[in-house]
Amino acid sequence: MPQVDEARERSDEGARGSMDRVYFLHVWTLMVMGIVFVFSASFPVAGRPNALMLPGNPFYYLGQHSKFVALGLVAMLITSLIPPRVIRSMTIWVFGGCVVLMGLVFTPLGVTRGGAPRWLDLPGLPVFQPSELMKIALILVVAHFLAKKDEGDEEPSTALGWAMLIALASGIFVLMQRDQGMATIYATIAFAMLLFAGMSRWKLAGLASLGLAGGLLFAYLEDYRWKRIMAFIDLENAPADDRYHILNMLIAQARGGFLGTGLGMSPDKWRSLPAPHTDSIFSVIGCEGGMLGAVIVLIAVGLLAWRGLEIAKRSESAFGFYVAAGVAAMLCLQSIAHIAVNTSCMPVTGLTLPFISGGGTSLISASVGAGLVLAVSRYQRSGGT
């Protein structure tokens, strides 16, 4: 990334153009796919009678998800109007606010599910997961320090050191919430941004090796995580409980064949597929849309990442470059991780498919990230498209 003329960055507000419509339409297409498949995946569970044998509401998750899609669209469009220069001035405050929210999960305001203190219940707000918002804050603060290197305001070694330190501290914070999957996403986002910043590939390989060793050690200390890794390594001989998730996801996808069983026709979501509208939604797509539907999702994710990186390359500022590239990496890498889990290419962990899976905080986080990319697109050398 070449050094940036600071005066040019200061003049961002006067150079605002239209947002990148192609990128916006990519995001909107994924959101529509999400609405369709969240309903298809969730209506069997939502429609079941409750403990009092009162009828359920098959449209419950559809309504809930549609509300979050609407909120996500509003958040994305509002974020897209903020100049990168202004976003940068707010970075430390945003990061600090997310740190506070992450800390509040360990107070009486926190909500623990399955032994993991990851959620926050603030008055007047739905329960949400602060670590999802922290992904955006991490990208912003790492982009800030990497941009200082390109602008000549900070020695490269110092800027890279700060970026790595912040990423490490954020990862440790989320590990305290017993969320190793999210910590892995934090690490991969940081690695991608350091690669974009020109860090030596050998140094990155060394850091990745240390991170992998640390991740395996942390997993070994938690019995259920280690069982998941062992089931991933030897699925055939793993105990039934340990391989249940991955085996049923693979069965659902295999059932779909090339063209799929048809929208709404997956039998696995009725009885055996775990978390079908969130963690396993790619398996529902693979079953009902077949290999063709799964490939369409892969192409859509790839095009979104490609367009995001194109916007990053045309950014008027170093900060804008790193923000857009960081968000592109976040959305792409989390999508790959979700798909890899569903196809038994990595151990099971609870990660959503951005814009498609159910999950309000995840959708809002992804939408704000997309809004940041659109904000950068308004201030690019070739103008908006």
pLDDT score at 382: 54
Residue identified by tokens 């899609």 is 69
- What's the predicted TM-score (pTM) here? 0.91
DSSP class of 291? H
* Three-class secondary structure of residue 275 per DSSP: coil
Q: Tell me if 164 is assigned to some domain.
A: yes
Top-confidence residue, 222 or 186: 186
- Per the domain annotation, does 2 fall within a domain? no
Q: Provide the residue range defining the domain that includes 214.
A: 8-48+57-377
Span 154-179, mean pLDDT? 91
262 within a domain of the structure (yes/no): yes
Domain membership of residue 134 (yes or no) is yes
The answer as to whether 384 is a domain residue is no
* pLDDT reported for residue 5: 45
Torsional sign, CA 372, 375, 380, 385: positive
Nearest to 179 by CA among 359, 351, 333, 337: 351
Asked if 306 and 280 count as a contact pair (C-beta separation under 8 A), the reply is no
What pLDDT score was predicted for residue 316?
A: 87
Q: Is residue 385 part of a domain?
A: no
Kindly report which listed range (1-15, 86-100, 326-340) carries the lowest average pLDDT score.
1-15
Range 236-256 average pLDDT: 91
Q: Classify residue 341 as exposed, middle or buried by CB count within 10 Å of its CB (0-12, 13-18, 19+).
A: buried
Q: How far is CA 247 from the centre of its chain?
A: 24
Q: How far apart, in whole angstroms, are the C-alpha atoms of residue 75 and residue 328?
A: 18
Question: How many domains are there within the chain?
Answer: 1
Q: What number of other Cβ atoms are within 10 A of residue 385's Cβ?
A: 16
Confidence check: pLDDT of 7 > 50: no
Q: What is the pLDDT of residues 132-153, one digit of tens each?
A: 999 999 999 999 999 999 999 8
User: 252 in a domain, yes or no?
Assistant: yes
Helix axes 84-104, 130-150, angle to 10 degrees: 140
